[in-house]
């Protein structure tokens, strides 16, 4: 990945989700309250940092399970379509096999009426497999050209029908497995969110206030980092413009941001990015729902996929695949429209809008919104990807 990527320090957040003071405190308490309910009087209570980490882990596990759910859902949908197609093919092949069998039957009936004993073509109708038919060479030698053609057609249809039935059986088995993965991922997400709600129900007023203060300090630091990034990017843009005016290149292709590995966004990209951002802004205020792809609600990767689709660019469904669907650039060279991925396990994504800000769908209980890309510290940023 990009050289700027940092290992995530034991932190206070979960996969790309900003945890508001109330929700953070809520989730924070539960793990601890449940642990300390039976603690002895002299036992130390976990620190707020330890509590917040537990809460962060809970949300990250939920979002990781959400991305696994998204992947399993997409795979299940594709596999179901394949099964439907194969079953349709089996039905068509079966009809053709019946037609071929009927034609052979007509020859057998004609031979029987003429007193020919065991009809040659009837021998093939009694065969159970194509191999049985091929083994009867002596019978085939006594047939007319039309009879042989009918047998060839029968053998072909029987072989193809058996093949399609086997493919359908295997696909149905795979579908059952993917449906099991989907069910498991769904249950995991629901369990993590239920644990979060339980923690929230046990939150104390004192914990709310203390965690809110920690949250405020973190957001102040995030704003400072975002301002520094905005300053750096403004200086880079000014350098590009000056180089262009001096005949050293164009504003798209010269300046400090241009390199073979991290090309600057050109005018074509800028046009697409504007469309993607316009779509993303129009979704602000819509609820986060895990597994949702719009139009009424979204999860994080569902939002970025839909935004770039509005710009004519097809992105994969999950964060795990979206992170590989473009060119990786340093944070300092991020352009509006770029995708911002979070955490070493790449479980969250937002769409960059400039000045250290992004639009993203944070987590259950929140809404699509603008937020600082440093909301969980700069070490939480996994990479920046330019998708088009």
Rounded CA separation 59/192 (Å): 7
Structure tokens at 305: 């996929």
Residues in the chain: 388
Which region, left, alpha or beta, applies to residue 154 given φ > 0 means left and ψ of -120 to 50 means alpha?
alpha
Identify the active-site residue in 300, 311, 325, 384. Answer: 300
289 closest CA partner among 384, 183, 186, 215? 186
Beta bridge partners of 372: 357
Q: Is 360 a catalytic residue?
A: yes
Q: Is 348 a catalytic residue?
A: yes
Identify the active-site residue in 53, 68, 360, 363. Answer: 360
Cβ atoms of residues 297 and 288 within 8 Å: yes
Q: Is 382 a catalytic residue?
A: no
Q: Other CB atoms closer than 10 Å to residue 353's CB: what's the count?
A: 21
Alpha-helical runs (H) found in the chain: 21-36, 48-113, 120-126, 130-134, 137-141, 145-201, 205-245, 267-282, 300-309, 319-322
Identify the active-site residue in 75, 272, 348, 386. Answer: 348
> Which residues are tagged catalytic?
300, 348, 360
């Amino acid at each position: 990945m990009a050289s700027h990527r940092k290992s995530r320090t034991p932190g206070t957040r979960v996969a790309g989700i900003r945890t508001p003071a109330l929700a953070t405190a809520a989730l924070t308490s539960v793990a601890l309250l449940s642990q300390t309910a039976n603690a002895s009087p002299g036992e130390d209570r976990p620190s707020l940092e330890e509590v917040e980490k537990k809460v962060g882990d809970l949300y990250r596990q939920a979002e990781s399970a959400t991305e696994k759910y998204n992947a399993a859902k997409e795979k299940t949908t594709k596999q179901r379509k394949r099964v439907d197609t194969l079953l349709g093919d089996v039905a068509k092949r079966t009809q053709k096999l019946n037609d071929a069998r009927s034609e052979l039957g007509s020859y057998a009936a004609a031979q029987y009426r003429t007193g020919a004993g065991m009809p040659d073509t009837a021998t093939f109708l009694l065969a159970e497999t194509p191999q049985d038919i091929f083994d009867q060479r002596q019978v085939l030698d006594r047939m007319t050209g039309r009879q042989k053609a009918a047998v060839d057609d029968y053998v072909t249809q029987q072989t193809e029908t058996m093949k399609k039935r086997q493919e359908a059986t295997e696909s149905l088995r795979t579908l059952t497995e993917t449906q099991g993965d989907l069910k498991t991922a769904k249950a995991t997400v629901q369990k993590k969110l239920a644990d979060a709600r339980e923690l929230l129900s046990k939150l104390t007023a004192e914990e709310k206030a203390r965690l809110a203060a920690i949250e405020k300090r973190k957001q102040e630091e995030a704003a400072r980092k975002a301002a520094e990034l905005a300053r750096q990017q403004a200086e880079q843009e000014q350098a590009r413009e000056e180089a262009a005016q001096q005949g050293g290149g164009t504003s798209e292709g010269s300046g400090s941001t241009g390199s073979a590995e991290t090309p600057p966004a050109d005018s074509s990209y800028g046009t697409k990015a504007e469309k993607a951002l316009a779509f993303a802004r129009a979704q602000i205020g819509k609820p986060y729902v895990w597994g949702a792809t719009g139009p009424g609600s979204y999860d994080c990767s569902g939002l970025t996929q839909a935004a770039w689709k509005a710009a004519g660019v097809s992105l994969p469904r999950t964060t795990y695949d979206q992170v590989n669907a473009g060119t990786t650039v340093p944070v300092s060279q991020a352009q509006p429209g770029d995708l911002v991925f979070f955490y070493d396990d790449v479980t969250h994504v937002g769409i960059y809008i400039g000045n250290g800000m992004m639009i993203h769908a944070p987590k259950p209980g929140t809404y699509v919104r603008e937020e600082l890309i440093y909301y969980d510290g700069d070490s939480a940023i996994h990479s920046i990807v330019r998708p088009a």
